[in-house]
Structure 1
Amino acid sequence: MNTRTLIASALALGFLAACSKPEPVVEAPRPVVVFTLASAQVAPAALYTGEVRARYESDLAFRIGGKIVERRVDVGAVVKPGQLLARLDPADAGLNAEAARAQLAAAENEFAYARAEVLRYRDLVAKNFVSRSVLDAKETAFRSATARVEQARAQASVAGRQAGYTSLLADQPGVITAVGAEVGQVVKDSAVVMKLARDGEREVLIAVPESRIGELKKAGRVEVRLWTQPDVALAGRVREIAPSADAATRTYAVRVSIVDPLPALQLGMTANVVLADAAASAGGLLVPITAVFEHGGASAVWVMQAEGELVKPVLRKVTVRQYREDGALISAGLTAGETIAAAGVNKIIAGQALRPVAPARPAAAPMAVRPGAAS
């Protein structure tokens, strides 16, 4: 075979290879975040997370300014009434007290001299040795000396009290929850140095949207559950609702008193306040709000049917009883135990193979409720 024949054969083979169809590329199944509806029956509720606080909290401060030379307690310390918490440098307050006492002594000396002068001139007037006008001048000086003594005595008392204000004492039993100044720091009078949470009643501070304020006002008692003991239900009572919303979050601060606190209840613990939900009590399943979308003028979800390790979506129309802060309450169309798509529902096509993926964070436990469930 000559060279021309070889070149022609190579060109023909290349042309045939270029004209052949490429093999189809198989796409990997797309991931989908799924959500499995719980089968357990639980009480219908709206849940708000808050922090355990003391009903009475005090800002502790020195009555005078000065340099802090000693701090006796730290955050979390349990204190008793009269216990020393911190102390200022007493030098300046001591000097002021000494100066006030010296002024009082000088005023008392002037008072004694003025009184002696009045007594002497009264005797002289009685004997007609001096005129009445001279006695009047001496009596005026005596009254002025009396007033100066009272003024100096009051100033000495204030200076003595201020010398005692260099010590910051606890006025109530409780727990120190914050420290705002350290040793060596110069503070002004009334500047907050510590925060004291008093012993006694405990409450949970929560933030509530305005759509729930009306229900809270009508609620008699609510339920409080600690994160450390979720199985123990504590009775709570709505004590205070803020008259105005927070400017940033647009929520209302609500304080819920714990009627009968546990011995293990500590300040700063996380607690859930459970509010009975009348709409949920009629029955339904709580699903993520991102799982529900509009299709053909009705609400729908994607129900996932398992096929080996993959799932296939099936469109299912549902009835939404209520859209809530924690999800959508479905009254018809779903049953407990089914798995639905929880995100990206508008990009799913019926029948396509998908790879189920658990959510990045554990979703809130779905709430399956039935009529007459215990609240």
Structure 2
Amino acid sequence: MLKKVCVLLLPLLLLSGCFKEDYTSLESKPIPWVLTREVVQDERADVRLSGSVKARYESPIAFQLNGRVLTKHVVAGQKVNANDPLFTLDPRDVDEVERSAMAQLAVADAALATARNELKRQQQLLEQNYISRQALERFELAEREALSQRESARAVLAQARNTRTYTELSAEHAGVMINVEVEAGQVVAAGQVLATLAQEGDKEIEVYLPDGQSPPQVGQIDLRGERSIQVELREIAGAADSSSRSWRARYRLLESNESLLLGSVVQVTLFKSDNAEDVLRVPLAALDERGLGAQVWQVIEGQAQPVSVDVLELTTEYARIRADLNTQSRVIALGTHLLTPGMQVRERAL
């Protein structure tokens, strides 16, 4: 009897052990700790950015017709004067069109001369009453049609000659060639940009401002020897760049300086005269950028929640931002790349 009871209890003991193992495996993991720090009001209102020196006017160079580049007269960085040759297209096809137009004009001239001579003979016959007035009108109409065809042929020839001039590109202004992107023998399309001419004259500083930041109106660039040049906002792009979400801005130099070379990089300090009170500072490690835009994380009711921010400047230790936060807010200072919205966390203040 005892042996039968043991045999019956053995499966129950095995099942209870399995249930115990499953139960322990389903126990929740411990809630992680996160370190938080207070958001600090930024002490300064200036924005420091890197900018590049640009010409006030940059003219793209392109042909008005398709063709093969026969000669290339310039290279990147070369200075040119007004009317200097830049590029030449192979003119053979255009020359054939011009010769064809000349031949068509010759045919039209001959047809007009024939129509006028015939009209003159018919007018003499009308004076002698050999033909009627209605018959003469047909010859007058033929003379007018020949005249119209001659004018049309002249227009076609003028257009062909204009097209012949389009095979040669010359500099309209003095300046420096930048971004020369074509070689002799290359086939190009009408309107394809071959190079860019940076015209002589005023220079500007081009910077990219963070999305959401109003552009400062004035600033300065710092040169060597602790010298600076004042700059003033001239234009701001009408839309943010689709990839970087930054705004291109151009600042005009208030004084000329020959030491500023086109394309060189300079440090620009932009002065914020208003709205400086909403600029905040957070530790650099608190900033999280994972393809969803810049954000920081707060602990709200025991859960990590993201807050979108506009980044104004990055340093080696902190980030200057603008966001829907205040100086009493606390943000998670480390390990933000491991967080997910609504994640349970325990806060430990620094």
Counterpart residue number, 2:218 = 221
Residues 140, 280 of structure 1: CA spacing in aligned structure 2 closer, same or farther, 3 A cutoff?
closer
Counterpart residue number, 1:366 = none
Contact persistence 2:213–2:312 (CA under 8 A):
no
Residues 136, 237 of structure 1: CA spacing in aligned structure 2 closer, same or farther, 3 A cutoff?
same
Counterpart residue number, 1:253 = 248
- Inter-partner Cα distance in structure 1 for 2:97 and 2:256: 49
**C-alpha displacement at 1:289, in angstroms?**
3.6
**C-alpha displacement at 1:56, in angstroms?**
1.6
Larger deviation, residues 43-52 vs 259-268 = 43-52
**Match of residue 268, structure 1, among 263, 268, 276:** 263
**C-alpha displacement at 1:260, in angstroms?**
1.2
**C-alpha displacement at 1:288, in angstroms?**
6.1
Q: Superposed, which structure 2 residues align to 1:14-53 within 5 Å? A: 45-53=46-54
Counterpart residue number, 2:12 = none
**Match of residue 235, structure 1, among 221, 226, 230:** 230
**C-alpha displacement at 1:324, in angstroms?**
5.5
Contact persistence 1:80–1:170 (CA under 8 A):
yes
Q: Which 4+ residue blocks in structure 1 deviate beyond 4 angstroms?
A: 277-282, 290-294, 343-346
Counterpart residue number, 2:91 = 90
- Inter-partner Cα distance in structure 1 for 2:145 and 2:205: 60
- Inter-partner Cα distance in structure 2 for 1:146 and 1:277: 71
Residues 93, 280 of structure 1: CA spacing in aligned structure 2 closer, same or farther, 3 A cutoff?
closer
- The alignment status of 1:147 with 2:144, answered yes or no, reads no
Superposed CA deviations along residues 163-189 of structure 1, whole A, max 9, x for unmatched, are 121111111211111112211111122
Structure 2 residue identity aligned to 1:325 = E
Partner of 1:129: helix, strand, or coil? Answer: coil
Counterpart residue number, 2:58 = 57
- Inter-partner Cα distance in structure 1 for 2:77 and 2:129: 79
- Inter-partner Cα distance in structure 2 for 1:230 and 1:279: 30
- Inter-partner Cα distance in structure 2 for 1:236 and 1:64: 41
- The alignment status of 1:79 with 2:80, answered yes or no, reads yes
Counterpart residue number, 1:20 = none
Counterpart residue number, 2:313 = 325
Residues 122, 50 of structure 1: CA spacing in aligned structure 2 closer, same or farther, 3 A cutoff?
same
**C-alpha displacement at 1:45, in angstroms?**
2.5
Contact persistence 2:118–2:139 (CA under 8 A):
yes
Residues 71, 264 of structure 1: CA spacing in aligned structure 2 closer, same or farther, 3 A cutoff?
same
Residues 288, 234 of structure 1: CA spacing in aligned structure 2 closer, same or farther, 3 A cutoff?
farther
Unaligned regions of 5+ residues in structure 2, if any?
1-43, 288-295, 298-310, 321-332, 337-350
**C-alpha displacement at 1:138, in angstroms?**
0.7
**C-alpha displacement at 1:109, in angstroms?**
1.0
- Inter-partner Cα distance in structure 2 for 1:100 and 1:281: 69
Structure 2 residue identity aligned to 1:248 = S
Q: Superposed, which structure 2 residues align to 1:284-323 within 5 Å? A: 289-290=284-285
Taking structure 1 as the reference length, the TM-score comes to 0.62
**C-alpha displacement at 1:264, in angstroms?**
1.6
Contact persistence 1:224–1:258 (CA under 8 A):
no
**C-alpha displacement at 1:291, in angstroms?**
9.4
- Inter-partner Cα distance in structure 1 for 2:82 and 2:136: 56
- Inter-partner Cα distance in structure 1 for 2:212 and 2:153: 63
Residues 324, 109 of structure 1: CA spacing in aligned structure 2 closer, same or farther, 3 A cutoff?
closer
Contact persistence 1:45–1:280 (CA under 8 A):
no
- The alignment status of 1:107 with 2:108, answered yes or no, reads yes
Counterpart residue number, 1:17 = none
- Inter-partner Cα distance in structure 2 for 1:63 and 1:278: 47
Unaligned regions of 5+ residues in structure 1, if any?
1-42, 295-322, 330-342, 347-375
Structure 1 residue identity aligned to 2:84 = Q
Superposed CA deviations along residues 321-375 of structure 1, whole A, max 9, x for unmatched, are xx9523368xxxxxxxxxxxxx9799xxxxxxxxxxxxxxxxxxxxxxxxxxxxx
Counterpart residue number, 1:131 = 132
**C-alpha displacement at 1:44, in angstroms?**
6.3
Superposed CA deviations along residues 196-247 of structure 1, whole A, max 9, x for unmatched, are 111222111111113431xx2xx44311235xx3622111111111222222
Partner of 1:212: helix, strand, or coil? Answer: coil
Taking structure 2 as the reference length, the TM-score comes to 0.66
- Inter-partner Cα distance in structure 1 for 2:121 and 2:286: 104
Q: What's the % identity of the aligned pairs?
A: 32
Counterpart residue number, 2:120 = 119
- Inter-partner Cα distance in structure 2 for 1:147 and 1:120: 21
**C-alpha displacement at 1:269, in angstroms?**
0.8
The alignment yields a C-alpha RMSD, in angstroms, of 3.2
